[in-house]
Amino acid sequence: MERGLALEGFDPDSNRLPAQAFRILVAESENEIVFHQHRKGQLILALHGGITCEVEQAVWMVPTQHAVWIPGEMPHSNRATANARLSFLFIEPGVVEMPAQCCTLRISPLVRELILHLAQQNENDLAQPETQRLVQVLFDELPRQAVEQLHLPMSAHPKIRFIAEQLALRPQQRQTLEQWASQLAMSERNLARLVVKETGLSFRRWRQQLQLIIALQLLIGGSSVQQVASELGYDSTNAFITMFKKALGNTPGRYLTSLELQ
């Protein structure tokens, strides 16, 4: 069952089905759903392209063959890349043991195919015993999916938000912590402490995580490794590749190939 990103007014909480899935096709331009929440938990699987999910304290990047898990009652917004193909899976609370916090999951081929099969079923089909047996297999497999750290810790603090917004707009800029502190009329030491307090990461590590998310968005969108390195302000392509490999365990090319092979 294929729908638009906003599910065309569909209310996922209108029934008590243990699981219900939909295929989503995004238009040629980016598409965003503003902050909202569901009683049910939601798994958003990226089949092609990617999606960024924002919750109160973090931004989650979901590349191809990954999914973001959003627990029930958690306010969130979603932004999908142009021409993305997604699948939304809504899960009734308490029917399967899932993480209590938002997270990115690397989805196995089996789980992906089970979700896609459910997306083809109507409500009557979902109530059939044979479909329910497949749902139970899905519930057995979901807790086994690997969690990947593809998220950027965020904060409601206006100074942290300001830096994040500026870095997202101009990721190639290389302002030092001292320069940011001067712009924000505070000492470098106090800004360093504020970033750690609000995000749990050092400024350098936090900025690198933001760049990693932007890099994945660009690579999935079709940009070359050289173009991404330049967009992020790296002096050389090799320096960017080194950062990427240290963070995700593979070079950009091999990482993208691994997604295509799944």
Assess whether 168 and 144 both reside in one domain.
no
Q: How many domains does the chain have?
A: 2
User: How high is the pLDDT of residue 1?
Assistant: 47
Tokens of 206: 């936090």
Return the C-alpha torsion angle 70, 75, 76, 77, nearest 10: 150
User: How high is the pLDDT of residue 61?
Assistant: 75
Assess whether 48 and 101 both reside in one domain.
yes
In the predicted model, is pLDDT for residue 6 greater than 90? no
Domain carrying residue 135:
2-148
As a whole number, mean pLDDT of residues 101-123 equals 91
Assess whether 123 and 226 both reside in one domain.
no
> pLDDT tens digits, residue range 39-98?
999 999 988 877 888 887 788 878 777 899 999 999 998 888 777 888 999 999 999 999
Cα 52 → chain centroid: 4
Listed residue (81, 102, 117) closest to 216, CA to CA: 81
User: How high is the pLDDT of residue 261?
Assistant: 52
Assess whether 195 and 127 both reside in one domain.
no
User: How high is the pLDDT of residue 155?
Assistant: 83
**CATH label of the domain that carries residue 234:** 1.10.10.60
Residues in Cβ contact with 246 at an 8 Å cutoff, skipping those fewer than 6 apart: none
Assess whether 175 and 196 both reside in one domain.
yes
Assess whether 144 and 169 both reside in one domain.
no
Assess whether 78 and 177 both reside in one domain.
no
- Of 53-62, 94-103, 216-225, give the range with the top mean pLDDT: 94-103
Assess whether 85 and 134 both reside in one domain.
yes
The pTM score is: 0.75
Assess whether 126 and 22 both reside in one domain.
yes
User: How high is the pLDDT of residue 2?
Assistant: 47
User: How high is the pLDDT of residue 9?
Assistant: 54
User: How high is the pLDDT of residue 5?
Assistant: 52
As a whole number, mean pLDDT of residues 231-241 equals 93
Q: Sheet of 58-62: strands edge to edge?
A: 31-36, 76-80, 51-55, 58-62, 151-153
> pLDDT tens digits, residue range 163-195?
988 988 888 888 999 999 999 999 999 999 999
CB 154 within 8 A of CB 161: yes
As a whole number, mean pLDDT of residues 116-135 equals 89
CB 46 within 8 A of CB 78: no
Assess whether 88 and 171 both reside in one domain.
no
User: How high is the pLDDT of residue 52?
Assistant: 83
User: How high is the pLDDT of residue 262?
Assistant: 54
